[in-house]
C-alpha cells in the first residue's frame, strides 16, 4: 500500500467538482506539477510517444489477487458505472495502487476503439512510466483529476480525455484508482460528468471497504434525509467512544481539511450526539442539528446494526479480541499476522507481505517514530525462508556519518589507525543469507547512497582497504519516518535508490490511527509484566483505559511502553488506576478538571473531610499531615486525597509548604 497519505479531504473539496475553463491547458497546478515531474524526475522526453506497457496474463492475475475481494464485493457498484459507460462511450479502468489496470469495462463501439488504442485491462498507467495521465497523476496527487487532450505528457495520449479518482482504504491511504476515459472531442466541459461519476463510485467503494474493515466497531452513518438507506458518510467509533476512522464524504461535510480534526477525538464532542440517542432510534435515524463551519446543519444519524459489536460489548474488557480477517490462504499464526494485531489495515498488509516476502521484492516500511518498524521488519524476516539466518540492523540516524561506511562495508586489516588489527566484517556481509534492516534510511549520506545502490545492484561488496569483491546474498528491508518522495524532489535522496528499495511500501499507522488501541495496550502491558517478573496479572481500570485510548500518542508505541512502565511503578495492588498514570496523558482532561476546580471556592470533598476529621486544623495543616504520611510523594498523597496532582501542587505552592524541587512525583 502506498505510504503517501490520501487524506485528500482538502484537495478533493476544492478540485472534485472543479471544471477547468476551456483554454486553460497546463494551468491547473496538478497538471503543471505532473509535467515538472515528467521532465525533471522521470526524465521523459517531451513531445514524443510514450510506451504503453502491457502485462502478461499471469502478471495481471497476480495484481488482481489483493483486489479480488473488493471486485467481488463491489459488483453492484461496478455494474452501475458499467451501464453508464456503455451508454456514454467511456472505457472504465479499475487499477491498483501501482497503476495496473486489473479490470476494465468497454462495451460501446467507442469503448472498443479505445481498447484498441491501449485503454484495456493489463496496461500500466504509472506516471513515472507513461507521464501525465488520469490514473497516474490521480495516484501521485492522491486527488481526483481530469487530464484532457494536450495535458497528457505523451503525444500518443493527447487524443484522450481521462478522469480518475483514488480508491481510499480505511486507514486513509489509496489502494487504487477508478478512471473513465474517452476521446477528447469538442468542449472539455463534458468531462465534468465523468469526473463526478468516478468520484461518486470511489466514495461508494470506500464505504464498502470501510464497513467491512470496521465490522467489529460501532459505525455511524450520516445523511441529509431520513429515507436515505445507503450513505457514504461514515465514522467508526471504538468502545471508549473515540472516533477511529472516517470516510471522505463525512470529512467534506464537516469541512475538515485533515482527517485528524476528528479522528482520535470523542464522538460526542464532535457531533454533540450520544449513543443512547442513536440506540433509542433502533433501526431508524436521529434528526440532529450541529454547527458546521459556523452555520447550523441538519443531518440524520443512524447506528448501523452490527451483530459482532453487540455480542462483543457485553463481554468483559479482557475478552475483546476479534477474529482475524485475513485471506484464508494465509496462516493466521505467522509472525506477520501476530505483529499486525487486530488492525484491519495491517492485517491486509500482512497478507500482501506474506505473499511477496520470498519473491526478492524490496520492502520499504514507512511510519512515524515509534510505530514499530523494527518489529515489522523482524516479523518479515521470521516469516521468510531466511528465518534461520541472521537478522542484522543498522540505524542510519544513530551512527556518526564518518562511521556509517565502515559499519556497512567493514574494513580490512590495518585499514584504520586504532581499528581492529584483523579488520571488521560489515553489516552487509554479516547479513549474508539473512536480512539486513536499514532503519532511518532517509538519514543516509548522499555519497554513501551511491555505494549502497551499487551493492544492491551487483550483490557484492568491497570492504574498506580491500580490493577483492565479496559476494553476498542480500535481502534488504529499509524503514524511514521521512517523506522520501519529498527528499527525492529536493535532491536529498537518490531517486534511483528510492525506486530500488521501494518495490513494495508498507505504511504503518500511528497508534492514534489504530482501531485496536486497547488490544495494543493490553499486549504491551503483558509484555512489561513478563519482563519485570510481575507475579500477578496486572489490569487497567476502565477510566484509566479511557484516558489512554483518548490520548493522541505523539511518541506512538514507544511512548505507550514508557507510560505503562511508569504506571507499573506507581500502582498499588494489581490494577492500574487513573492516579497511576503520568501527567503527559492528561492534556485535555486535566485542563478541564483544573478549570472546574479554579472556578470553585469550595475545597475538594476529600480535603474538606480531612479538615473535619482533624479537629480545628486548617487546610494548610491538614495538607501537611497528609503529605508527611506519604513522605511528600505528591502522586500518592493526591491519590489518598482524591484530587489531581496539579491541584495538589497548586495548593502546596499556595501555602508555601515546600519548594517544588524538594517534592517527589514518584
pLDDT tens-digit map of 423-450: 889 899 999 999 999 999 998 888 888 8
Predicted pLDDT at 21: 40
Alpha carbon 47 to its chain centroid, in Å, reads 38
Predicted pLDDT at 332: 55
* Segment 551-564, tens digit of pLDDT: 888 889 989 999 99
Vertex 113 angle, CA 111 and 118, to 5°: 95
Average pLDDT over residues 617-629: 73
Ranges 72-76, 141-145, 257-261, 631-635, most confident: 141-145
Predicted pLDDT at 500: 86
- The CA distance from 344 to 509, in Å, is 11
Which has the higher per-residue pLDDT, 109 or 377?
A: 377
Predicted pLDDT at 326: 40
* Segment 3-53, tens digit of pLDDT: 344 444 333 332 333 333 434 443 478 899 899 999 888 889 888 999 898
Predicted pLDDT at 2: 41
For the packed helices 556-570 and 517-531, what is the interaxial angle rounded to 10 degrees? 50
Predicted pLDDT at 658: 62
Chain length of the chain = 666
Give yes or no for residue 613 having a pLDDT over 70.
no
521, three cell numbers: 495496550
Q: How does residue 86 score in pLDDT terms, banded at 50, 70 and 90?
A: confident
Predicted pLDDT at 6: 43
Predicted pLDDT at 536: 63
Residue 244 and residue 272 in contact, taking contact as beta carbons nearer than 8 Å: no
For residue 420, the SS3 value is: coil
Predicted pLDDT at 648: 75
Predicted pLDDT at 156: 93
Q: How does residue 169 score in pLDDT terms, banded at 50, 70 and 90?
A: confident
Q: Which residues pair with 290 in a beta bridge?
A: 297
Sequence-separated contacts (24+) of 55-63 with Cβ below 8 Å = 55/100, 55/122, 55/123, 55/124, 56/122, 57/122, 59/122, 60/100, 60/102, 60/121, 60/122, 63/96, 63/98, 63/100, 63/102
Alpha carbon 664 to its chain centroid, in Å, reads 38
Give yes or no for residue 374 having a pLDDT over 80.
yes
Give yes or no for residue 517 having a pLDDT over 90.
no
Vertex 25 angle, CA 53 and 249, to 5°: 75
Predicted pLDDT at 122: 93
pLDDT over 90 percentage in the chain = 22
Give yes or no for residue 535 having a pLDDT over 60.
no
Tell how strand 575-576 and strand 539-540 pair up.
parallel
> Model-level pTM?
0.50
Give yes or no for residue 593 having a pLDDT over 80.
no
Q: How does residue 333 score in pLDDT terms, banded at 50, 70 and 90?
A: low
Predicted pLDDT at 431: 92
Residue 120 and residue 106 in contact, taking contact as beta carbons nearer than 8 Å: yes
Q: How does residue 587 score in pLDDT terms, banded at 50, 70 and 90?
A: low
- Mean pLDDT score of the chain: 79
Amino acid at each position: 500500500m502506498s505510504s503517501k497519505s490520501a487524506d485528500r479531504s482538502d484537495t478533493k473539496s476544492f478540485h472534485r467538482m472543479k471544471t477547468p475553463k476551456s483554454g486553460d491547458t497546463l494551468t491547473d497546478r496538478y497538471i503543471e506539477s505532473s509535467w515538472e515531474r515528467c521532465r525533471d524526475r522521470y526524465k521523459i522526453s517531451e513531445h514524443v510517444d510514450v510506451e504503453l506497457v502491457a502485462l502478461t496474463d499471469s502478471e495481471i492475475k497476480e495484481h488482481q489477487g489483493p483486489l479480488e475481494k473488493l471486485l467481488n464485493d463491489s459488483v453492484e457498484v461496478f455494474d452501475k458505472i458499467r451501464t453508464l459507460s456503455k451508454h456514454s462511450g467511456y472505457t472504465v479502468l479499475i487499477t491498483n495502487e501501482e497503476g495496473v489496470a486489473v479490470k476494465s469495462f468497454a462495451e460501446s463501439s467507442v469503448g472498443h476503439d479505445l481498447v484498441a488504442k491501449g485503454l484495456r485491462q493489463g496496461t500500466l498507467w504509472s506516471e513515472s512510466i507513461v507521464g501525465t495521465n488520469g490514473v497516474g497523476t490521480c495516484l501521485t496527487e492522491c486527488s481526483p483529476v481530469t487530464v484532457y487532450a494536450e495535458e497528457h505528457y505523451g503525444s500518443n495520449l493527447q487524443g484522450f480525455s481521462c478522469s480518475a479518482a483514488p480508491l481510499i482504504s480505511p486507514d486513509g491511504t489509496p489502494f487504487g484508482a477508478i478512471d473513465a476515459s474517452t476521446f477528447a472531442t469538442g468542449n472539455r466541459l463534458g468531462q465534468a460528468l465523468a469526473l463526478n461519476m468516478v468520484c461518486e463510485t470511489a466514495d461508494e467503494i470506500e464505504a464498502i471497504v470501510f464497513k467491512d474493515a470496521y465490522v467489529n466497531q460501532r459505525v455511524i452513518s450520516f445523511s441529509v434525509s431520513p429515507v436515505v438507506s445507503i450513505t457514504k458518510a461514515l465514522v467508526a467509533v471504538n468502545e471508549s467512544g473515540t472516533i477511529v476512522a472516517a470516510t471522505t464524504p463525512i470529512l467534506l461535510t464537516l469541512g475538515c481539511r485533515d482527517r485528524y480534526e476528528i479522528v482520535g477525538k470523542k464522538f460526542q464532542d464532535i457531533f454533540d450526539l450520544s449513543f443512547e440517542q442513536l440506540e433509542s432510534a433502533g433501526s431508524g435515524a436521529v434528526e440532529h442539528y450541529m454547527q458546521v463551519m459556523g452555520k447550523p446543519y441538519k443531518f440524520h444519524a443512524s447506528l448501523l446494526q452490527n451483530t459482532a459489536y453487540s455480542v462483543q460489548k457485553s463481554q468483559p474488557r479482557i475478552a475483546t479480541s476479534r477474529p482475524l480477517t485475513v485471506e484464508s490462504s494465509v496462516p493466521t499464526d505467522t509472525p506477520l499476522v501476530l505483529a499486525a494485531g487486530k488492525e484491519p489495515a495491517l492485517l491486509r498488509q500482512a497478507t500482501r507481505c506474506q505473499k511477496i516476502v520470498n519473491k526478492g521484492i524490496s520492502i520499504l516500511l514507512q511510519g512515524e517514530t515509534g510505530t514499530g518498524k523494527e518489529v515489522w521488519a523482524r516479523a518479515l524476516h521470521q516469516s521468510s525462508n531466511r528465518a534461520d539466518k541472521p537478522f542484522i540492523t543498522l540505524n542510519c540516524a544513530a551512527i556518526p556519518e564518518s562511521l556509517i561506511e565502515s559499519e556497512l562495508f567493514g574494513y580490512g586489516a590495518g585499514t584504520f589507525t586504532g581499528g581492529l588489527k584483523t579488520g571488521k566484517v560489515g553489516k552487509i556481509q554479516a547479513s549474508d543469507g539473512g536480512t539486513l534492516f536499514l532503519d532511518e534510511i532517509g538519514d543516509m549520506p548522499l555519497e554513501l547512497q551511491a555505494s549502497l545502490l551499487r551493492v544492491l545492484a551487483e550483490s557484492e561488496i568491497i570492504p574498506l582497504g580491500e580490493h577483492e569483491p565479496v559476494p553476498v546474498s542480500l535481502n534488504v528491508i529499509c524503514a524511514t519516518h521521512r517523506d522520501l518522495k519529498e527528499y527525492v524532489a529536493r535532491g536529498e535522496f537518490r531517486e534511483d535508490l528510492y525506486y530500488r528499495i521501494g518495490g513494495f511500501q508498507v505504511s504503518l499507522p500511528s497508534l492514534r490511527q489504530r482501531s485496536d488501541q486497547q488490544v495494543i495496550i493490553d499486549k504491551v502491558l503483558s509484555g512489561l509484566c513478563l519482563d519485570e517478573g510481575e507475579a500477578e496479572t496486572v489490569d487497567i481500570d476502565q477510566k484509566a483505559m479511557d484516558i489512554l485510548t483518548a490520548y493522541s500518542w505523539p511518541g506512538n508505541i514507544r511512548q505507550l511502553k514508557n507510560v505503562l512502565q511508569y504506571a507499573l511503578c506507581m500502582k498499588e495492588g494489581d490494577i492500574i488506576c487513573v492516579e497511576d498514570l503520568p501527567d503527559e496523558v492528561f492534556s485535555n482532561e486535566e485542563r478541564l478538571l483544573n478549570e472546574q476546580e479554579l472556578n470553585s471556592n469550595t475545597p475538594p470533598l476529600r480535603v474538606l473531610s480531612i479538615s473535619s476529621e482533624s479537629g480545628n486544623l486548617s487546610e494548610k495543616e491538614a495538607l501537611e499531615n497528609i503529605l508527611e504520611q506519604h513522605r511528600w510523594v505528591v502522586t500518592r498523597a493526591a491519590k489518598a486525597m482524591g484530587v489531581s496532582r496539579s491541584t495538589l501542587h497548586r495548593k502546596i505552592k499556595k501555602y508555601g509548604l515546600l519548594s517544588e524541587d524538594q517534592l517527589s512525583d514518584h
